[in-house]
Amino acid sequence: MNIDTLLLAAGGTVAMAVFGILAGLWYVGLDRVLAARMQARIGPPVRQPFIDMAKLMCKENVVPANAVPWLFNGAPLAALASSITILLYIPMASFGFLPVLGAYGDLILIMYLLIFPALAMVVGGLSSGSPYATIGSQREMVTMIAYELPLGATIVAFAWKLVQSGIADPFSLATLSATPIWTLVGPVGFMGLLLLLATMVLVVPGELGRIPFDSPEAETELAGGLLVEYSGRNLALFYLSLAVKTIVVLSLIVSLFFPWNLSDFVAIPCCPLLAAAADVAFFLFKLLVVLFFSVTLIRISVARFRINQVVDVYWKILGALSIVGLILVMVDAYILR
């Protein structure tokens, strides 16, 4: 790898980190505003997450006496760094450019990398020495294990369909973005994809620790759960990692199920830059739509689940739906022959 490639990768990493943080905080603010309006409240301004981060960055870090200091302080950095790393593998919009690390990873790697931000929070909670944080960390690990089944079944369904269609690199997100899977299936496969889409929409709040799958923090039960002992810059870094992970998970769903660009449907003759800007704006709009249906609408409609209910929903209901969706996609391939 030459120096120009290294500089390009470094510049792309910085740009994606800045985009992930700013866009993540903005979408968190939009989520709060939308939820407030749907509940007939005024709610905070969209910029409130930025204000919260600025205040937390100015506050002192408090390390509990019973904590393991290097783990306690290192976990927030690891969570943010791992969230930004995942962002480097996911295409933000398809206008001729691969992700920064798109040539070095695929869906299998992304599925494993998604574990690291949550795992860093678990380590931070366990290292704090708080019984509330310990219980929250245990619940977080159970939730992580629970939603891996529907997530894995969805990825297998996509890869299997691409292989069956004779497309190279079936686990590559660049391949999936260039080949909308809806165009490869018939009516039965279409129904299977709808089931997989519904499954992934409900995986999002579990990945992000949002209601109804927020039992690891459960303020009314655990006083904040696994982050109860965090404050100041460390707490800000955890919130930033969740903001970046919000963009990561939403972008993953858009890349899998809605990879189209505005320039695919509307001719933009003026210049390539204008077409690229329109595609980016359309991509951001798709993120907002997915955010509304997978986070905002769900959290104002459903109360928090108990941890045993979280497992039941992901393993028994969504796990079954994802497997049925996978089977329908497979059956569809034999019907089309």
What is the residue whose two structure tokens read 């969570």?
79
Instruction: Give the model's pLDDT for residue 272.
Output: 67
Cα dist. 60→51, 55, 224, 282 in Å?
Answer: 16, 10, 19, 40
Q: Which two tokens stand for residue 189?
A: 């496969």
Compute mean pLDDT per 10 residues along the chain, 337 residues long, and list them.
70 86 94 90 90 90 85 90 88 62 74 88 86 85 87 88 81 78 87 93 88 75 74 90 92 88 68 75 91 91 84 89 91 75
Q: Is 98 left (phi over 0), alpha (psi -120 to 50) or beta?
A: beta
Calculate helix-pair angle for 69-87, 115-127, nearest 10 degrees: 170
Instruction: Give the model's pLDDT for residue 182.
Output: 87
- Residue pair 150/318 in contact (Cβ under 8 Å)? The answer is yes
- Residue pair 83/120 in contact (Cβ under 8 Å)? The answer is no
Instruction: Give the model's pLDDT for residue 95.
Output: 47
Q: Encode pLDDT of 201-234 as tens digits.
A: 999 888 888 888 887 776 665 566 788 888 888 8
Amino acid letter for position 161: K
Instruction: Give the model's pLDDT for residue 336.
Output: 60
What is the residue whose two structure tokens read 């977080």?
140
Of 221, 235, 227, 219, which Cα lies nearest the Cα of 130? 227
Q: Which two tokens stand for residue 139?
A: 């619940």
CA count, 13 A, side-chain hemisphere, 304: 12
Of 114, 110, 111, which Cα lies nearest the Cα of 89? 110
Instruction: Give the model's pLDDT for residue 102.
Output: 66
